[in-house]
Chain A
């Protein structure tokens, strides 16, 4: 059983019957889907988006899409895997729409140098927050959600090399900001 299948059976024990009812347009079943996956979808969105408002909008966008497209869900994949991919795409769309990235990169560079100078050790949450949205999204999708660089590149409309270099750059910064650098 794959990781997403295990998580799905934990979140929604009777997934098959709920999906069948949801496909028939039963609103109670659609709400069951929402209640089952609300927390992990929001967590994914919030880890990628800058604000709680953006994450809540992504949550709503994701379930609007899930409910509209449930008829197109192919049951050979896990339901959670399908929902999660919609959520990741919506969160990345939100990043593109907000156009935070360019200015964000500059801010991150400035913060990085300042932290390096003062050698302050940062909390992991704070360090992740300091990353650019793109870098943080790649870290979360690759290291936590388990997407490959090819899959991330597909969702972002970039190349796998872009995803790899973003991940490496993010880890270099996290290492520095978390005070993990050692003299060799």
Chain B
């Protein structure tokens, strides 16, 4: 007597949809050995299902949350870059058409130069795809702090737009410089990490 193969026994668990299941059932009804084998299969699966749940040895939420913040930050930076380009264009236009003293003109040019540096750094940072990388806890903490500080500077830049022209320029230049410094540090964090792991 030819007994059912393991595939044949397994097909009996597939709600009668499998080809050959009908003949396998027919054989099973008259074969105690295959009935016993099917029972053992059911018991084995039940034992596998009853295995204790394995739990992670450490909490991975902090790293996951840090990575999410980096990704969100990168998205915001992409949007901010576009807005920054538009703002730079409008400042350049204002420099060309508005009559002003040399000091004020130099301020505008300096702002444009610092904004261009900021965009270059963001572009360099995006080449490392920080949102797709996993960070160890310490690096993630440093990156997160820098990103939070950059976000704070961005908010201050929005507020500075509301100031009077002369004090606005001084404040905007100071903030853009601060932003460039923070971005420099953030690029360093990611580039150093990438170099350390040979990426």
Contact = CB atoms under 8 A, between A and B. Distances in A.
A30 B65 contact: yes
Contacts of B7: 164-165, 168
A47 interface: yes
A51 B191 CA distance: 28
A180 B40 contact: yes
B60 A31 contact: no
Most buried by A among B7, B41, B56: B56
A144 to B, nearest CB: 5
Given A67-B64, A67-B68, A168-B10, A143 B56 contact: no
B71 interface: yes
How extensive is the interface on chain A, given as a class? Answer: 35 or more
B67 A64 contact: yes
Interface string B42-85: 00110111010111111011011101100110000000000000
**B interface residue count range (under 10 / 10 to 19 / 20 to 34 / 35 or more):** 20 to 34
B163 interface: no
B44 A175 contact: yes
Contacts of B33: 184
Contact of A60 (B5, B53, B57, B63): B63
Contact of A59 (B44, B56, B67): B56
B87 interface: no
Contact of B64 (A25, A60, A167, A182): A60
Interface in A1-31: 25, 27, 30-31
A38 B57 CA distance: 12
B92 interface: no
Contact of B134 (A60, A164, A171): A60
A60 B68 CA distance: 11
28 contacts: A25-B72, A31-B61, A31-B65, A34-B61, A38-B56, A39-B53, A42-B54, A42-B56, A43-B53, A46-B54, A52-B56, A56-B56, A60-B64, A64-B68, A67-B68, A139-B48, A143-B49, A144-B48, A144-B49, A164-B7, A165-B7, A169-B6, A171-B10, A172-B6, A174-B44, A175-B40, A175-B44, A180-B40
